[in-house]
């Protein structure tokens, strides 16, 4: 094969390989356009936790986003248990109890959301959006609980991360 043929082959290979990565890139780009406060880099970094995201289509990315966020809710739940074990302050204990319940509900909501997206039906999408919207409220409700009790939230970092993660899942699911 002479250079005149090799070049179009290379161009084709390049197009094929770049079009794969671009579903993730395009999806994060349009997410970031509407959510500059979270942004493109955060979105890409979020999806890097799942190697399937590199080859997923948009629906696949929406499913991955709900699953990763569900896993995050589980691990925040574990962190809350650990905090509870060593916390002496009654107000903080009470706030932690509420947040534990909220994150445990969020695990279920995100599970329903992932299944709804996977169903690929309009009804499935509606259920997913409703459940993701429910999960989006959890971290704010958790934070509000601590401020109503007049104590500093020991979960502010987790609550803010989780809000960003759910918003990625919600925006992508909404756009399907």
Ligand X SMILES: *[C@@H]1O[C@H](CO)[C@@H](O)[C@H](O)[C@H]1NC(C)=O
Residues that bind ligand X (CB under 6 A): 109, 112, 127, 130-131, 134
What is d(CA 28, CA 36) in angstroms, rounded to the nearest whole number? 11
Min dist CB 71 to ligand X, Å, is 19
DSSP three-state, residue 87:
coil
Min dist CB 127 to ligand X, Å, is 4
Which H or E run contains 10? Answer: helix 3-34
Min dist CB 65 to ligand X, Å, is 16
Query: Considering beta carbons, is residue 13 or 126 the nearer one to ligand X?
Result: 126
Query: Considering beta carbons, is residue 112 or 168 the nearer one to ligand X?
Result: 112
Residue in 76, 85, 83 with CA at minimum distance from that of residue 110: 76
Query: Considering beta carbons, is residue 127 or 161 the nearer one to ligand X?
Result: 127
DSSP secondary structure letter of residue 121: S
Query: Considering beta carbons, is residue 137 or 151 the nearer one to ligand X?
Result: 137
Query: Considering beta carbons, is residue 72 or 109 the nearer one to ligand X?
Result: 109
Main-chain phi, psi angles of 121, to 5 degrees: -105, 160
Q: Say how many residues make up the chain.
A: 176
Min dist CB 23 to ligand X, Å, is 26
- Owner of token pair 């009804």: 123
What is d(CA 56, CA 93) in angstroms, rounded to the nearest whole number? 41
Question: How would you label 42-63 residue by residue, b for 16+ Cβ within 10 Å and e otherwise?
Answer: bbbebbeebeebeebebebbbb
Min dist CB 133 to ligand X, Å, is 7
């Amino acid at each position: 094969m002479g250079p005149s043929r090799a070049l179009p082959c290379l161009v084709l290979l390049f197009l094929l390989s770049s079009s794969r990565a671009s579903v993730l890139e395009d999806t994060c780009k349009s997410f970031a356009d509407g959510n500059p406060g979270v942004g493109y880099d955060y979105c890409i970094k979020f999806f890097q936790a799942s190697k399937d995201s590199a080859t997923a289509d948009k629906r696949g990315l929406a499913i991955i986003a709900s699953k990763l966020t569900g896993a995050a809710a589980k691990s925040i739940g574990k962190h809350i248990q650990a905090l509870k074990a060593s916390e002496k302050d009654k107000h903080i204990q009470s706030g932690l109890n509420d947040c534990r319940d909220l994150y445990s509900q969020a695990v279920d909501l995100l599970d329903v959301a992932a299944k709804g997206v996977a169903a690929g039906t309009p009804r499935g999408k509606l259920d997913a959006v409703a459940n993701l919207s429910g999960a989006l409220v959890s971290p704010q409700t958790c934070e509000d609980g601590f401020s109503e009790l007049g104590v500093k939230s020991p979960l502010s970092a987790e609550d803010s991360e989780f809000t960003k993660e759910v918003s990625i899942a919600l925006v992508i699911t909404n756009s399907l």
